[in-house]
Amino acid sequence: MIYETQPTASHYVDGAYLEDTDGTPIPVIYAATGARIATVHAATPAVIDRALTAAARAQSDWARLSGRERGRVLIRAAQILRERNREMSVLETFDTGKPLQETLVADAASAADALEYFGGLAGSLTGEHIPLGGDWAYTMREPLGVCVGIGAWNYPTQIAAWKAAPALACGNAMVFKPSEVTPLCALKLAEILTEAGAPAGLFNVVQGAGEAGQALISDPRVAKVSLTGSVPTGRKVYAAAAADMKHVTMELGGKSPLLIFEDADLENAVGGAILANFYSSGQICSNGTRVFVQKSVKQAFLARLTERLKGVVMGDPLDEATNFGPMVSEAQMRIVEGYIAKGVEEGARLVTGGKRAARDGFFLAPTVFADVTDGMTIAREEIFGPVMAVLDFEDEDEAVARANATEFGLAAGVFTRDISRAHRVIGALKAGTCFINSYNDAPVEMPFGGVGMSGVGRENAKAAIEHYSQLKSVYVRMGDVEAPY
């Protein structure tokens, strides 16, 4: 037990905690020490069935409420989350290893924003009136039914809420499966939703790895699957959903470019590159890990970056002075170390970092490679750790062409003082989520998602409504029916 408000069982089903120790035990490891802090059990088929049955039952009642009534519950949940921000943030730190300095501002707070935003929107989900010269038609926005959410491990509270909030606002129910690496936070979100007035079964959490995920996706009661995860998992989940023509949202990986032009404010560009690579120890899908720097400013950029990285405080994540935490797991640390070794082997110049910290836990120093070329493994594959690859370029057309030479398309950024260039470059970049003179901002009001292999659909903003509802069109004849016979 970490502290007294820790979740009390593995699953949250039909409005209450549920345990079934027949499921495979999953240890929960605190990344900062390597210690086991809890054990949950993977969902058995019986648990999955109970969760889906409860969700289907709750959904039909929930969909009959007015949008405003549904919204009220979400807004109340947002308020409770905000009141318990510290407690939720501490749990997020134990779940992921991310420093409390980060989790206090970025996780439960972002989840509360989503609940508040979609709670506010729920009352205005209307259809259209379509006049047809006498006859007319109208559309209704209807829920999909039972939605499944499957999460990655980097933002467990946020991912659960970014899926639950629009789904519930539209009148759906959800069964959420967190990553087996970070199973704790979504349980607390479920508890809070119940406390806020959500009916039993509306939002359920079941644990497990890929097997539990597959069981959920292939159940005929499920209408939609929203995954946050890697491209290989996305392929499997999308294929399984396609078999039954289920709706999908795919928030997948990336290898996003950040273009820094010689006319950029250097200090801001360095700050942007830091946010694009090292926040959450680099474990962010939208990270701009291919940093293209115009040759004339490359030396100055690297010098200032190295200087600013002296401000990294690696240490106990619960100490609010710590601003750089460990990798989420030993396995992820080893994957990242493998990429660092590849970078060296393939001839990139290691400017700083590249090693583990001399302490317990899964800490890797922020790492910068310069003189990276497009064909190197560290410039092509998603690393999901604190490894920045700096590539140089001569002119704009070249930078854009090289930035686009990837199958991913999650995010992209540009730093320049030239307003026309900023918009021209962003217009030419193949990415779903872009930043001008900034990086990695994710307000709930702005749609988030990728193109290409980085995904399908959008989370957040009004755009998410399209992905958690469907239109019913109704033709209304005002006169007699003229049939040929």
Ligand X SMILES: NC(=O)C1=CN([C@@H]2O[C@H](COP(=O)(O)OP(=O)(O)OC[C@H]3O[C@@H](n4cnc5c(N)ncnc54)[C@H](O)[C@@H]3O)[C@@H](O)[C@H]2O)C=CC1
Using alpha carbons only, what angle is made at residue 387 by residues 385 and 393, rounded to the nearest 5 degrees? 140
Q: Applying CB under 6 A, does 218 fall inside the site for ligand X?
A: no
Among 62, 153, 292, 362, binds ligand X (CB under 6 A): 153
Stretch that binds ligand X, among 125-133, 207-215, 351-359, 468-476 (CB under 6 A): 207-215
- Phi-psi region for residue 339, left (φ > 0), alpha (ψ -120 to 50) or beta? alpha
The first and second tokens of residue 192, run together, are 């809070």
CB contact set of 69 (below 8 Å; sequence gap of 6+): none
Binding ligand X (rule: CB under 6 A), the pick from 23, 97, 99, 151 is: 151
CA 247, CA 467: separation in Å to the nearest integer? 8
With binding defined as CB under 6 A, does residue 215 bind ligand X? no
Chosen residue from 410, 425, 429, 431 binding ligand X by CB under 6 A:
410
**Sites for ligand X among residues 165-204 (CB under 6 A):** 177, 179-180
Taking the complex as a whole, how short is the minimal distance between the CB of residue 236 and ligand X, in angstroms?
4
- CB 205 to ligand X: min, Å: 12
Q: How far is the CB of 226 from ligand X (least distance, A)?
A: 10
Residue 228 near ligand X by CB under 6 A: yes
Beta strands in 134-221 (DSSP E): 135-143, 146-150, 173-177, 203-205
Separation CA 18–CA 206 (nearest Å) = 9
Closest among 258, 255, 252 to 439, alpha carbons compared: 258
Residue 196: C-alpha distances to residues 74, 199, 455 (Å): 7, 9, 32
Q: Which of 92, 102, 116, 251 is catalytic?
A: 251
Contact residue for ligand X among 122, 275, 285, 422 (CB under 6 A):
285
Which parts of 235-254 interact with ligand X (CB under 6 A)?
236-237, 251-254
Residues 6+ apart with CB under 8 A from 422: 414, 416, 436, 437
Nearer to ligand X, 255 or 402 (CB): 255
- Closest to 96 in 3D by CA, of 398, 384, 396, 292: 384
Considering the complex, state which of residue 305 and residue 412 has its C-beta at the smaller distance from ligand X. 412
Give the span between the Cα atoms of 244 and 230, in whole angstroms: 22
| Neighbouring C-alpha atoms within 13 Å toward the C-beta of 369 | 28
Q: Which stretch binds ligand X (CB under 6 A): 210-218, 315-323, 434-442, 474-482?
A: 210-218
Q: Is 229 an interacting residue with respect to ligand X (CB under 6 A)? A: yes
Looking at 59-67, 147-155, 340-348, 416-424, which segment touches ligand X (CB under 6 A)?
A: 147-155
Smallest separation, CB 209 to ligand X (Å): 5
- Minimum CB distance to ligand X, residue 155 (Å): 6
Phi/psi for 324 (5° steps) reads -150, 115
List residues binding ligand X (CB under 6 A).
150-154, 177, 179-180, 209-210, 213-214, 217, 228-230, 233, 236-237, 251-254, 285, 382, 384, 410, 450, 455
Active-site residue list: 251
